[in-house]
Amino acid sequence: MKRILKAISILLLAFLVGCSGTKEETKVYTKQQKGVTMELTFYYKGDKVVKQTSKNTIVYADLGLTKEQVKKQLDPVAKKYQGIEGLEDKLDYQETQVVENLTIDYTKAKLSQLKGIPGITIEAEDGQDVSMKKSEEILKQDGFTEKK
């Protein structure tokens, strides 16, 4: 009887561990270049990216542009981000800078819709997962550093 209970306990434990899945983790990458500070946060389980947020801060003076000039350039691009499921983009024009907050929920978004949007690079097709490992390789090649 003890052996049976022990075997059942082990099976239940294995089942519970298997059902719990991989816990969600995050990694943050940053890059600064001529007036633009970028901070990308990846939310992932195993090698599968489930969500990505991006906070981009653009200082007008560092680009040699005015608030109006930056707005004139960014607003048409931001319109392309609207109405796409799983994608949210907000621009906050402040006195000396603009802060963009972009969120991509990969559990809702169609990758084929995201691929044609300026500023978004995706190395996967519809039905495939976005790889954290591949994303890290691309970021490092582009000069991003991991924030620990």
Instruction: Give 95-140 pLDDT, tens digit per residue.
Output: 999 999 999 999 998 887 777 777 776 766 666 788 999 999 989 9
Q: What is the mean pLDDT of the chain?
A: 82
Q: In this structure, is the dihedral angle defined by the CA atoms of residues 141, 143, 147 and 148, taken in order, positive or negative?
A: positive
Length of the chain as a residue count? 148
**Angstrom distance (rounded) from CA 124 to CA 130:** 6
pLDDT for the residue 4: 38
Mean per-residue pLDDT, 68-78? 92
AA letter at 99: V
Q: In this structure, is the dihedral angle defined by the CA atoms of residues 48, 53, 59 and 63, taken in order, positive or negative?
A: positive
User: In the numeric block, which tokens belong to residue 56?
Assistant: 């981009």
52 has pLDDT over 80: yes
Q: Which helix (H) or strand (E) holds 130?
A: strand 130-131
User: In the numeric block, which tokens belong to residue 57?
Assistant: 């801060």
pTM to 2 decimals? 0.80
Which of 67, 110, 113, 114 is closest to 91 using CA atoms? Answer: 67
39 has pLDDT over 90: yes
Q: Name the band, by pLDDT with cuts 50, 70 and 90, for residue 80.
A: confident
AA letter at 118: P
Specify the pairing of strand 87-93 against strand 130-131: unpaired
User: In the numeric block, which tokens belong to residue 70?
Assistant: 């930056």
pLDDT for the residue 12: 38
pLDDT for the residue 129: 84
User: Alpha carbon of 5 to those of 10, 11, 14, 18: distances in Å?
Assistant: 9, 10, 14, 20
pLDDT for the residue 145: 95
Q: Identify the burial level of 29 via C-beta atoms within 10 angstroms of its C-beta, where 0-12 means exposed, 13-18 middle and 19 or more buried.
A: buried
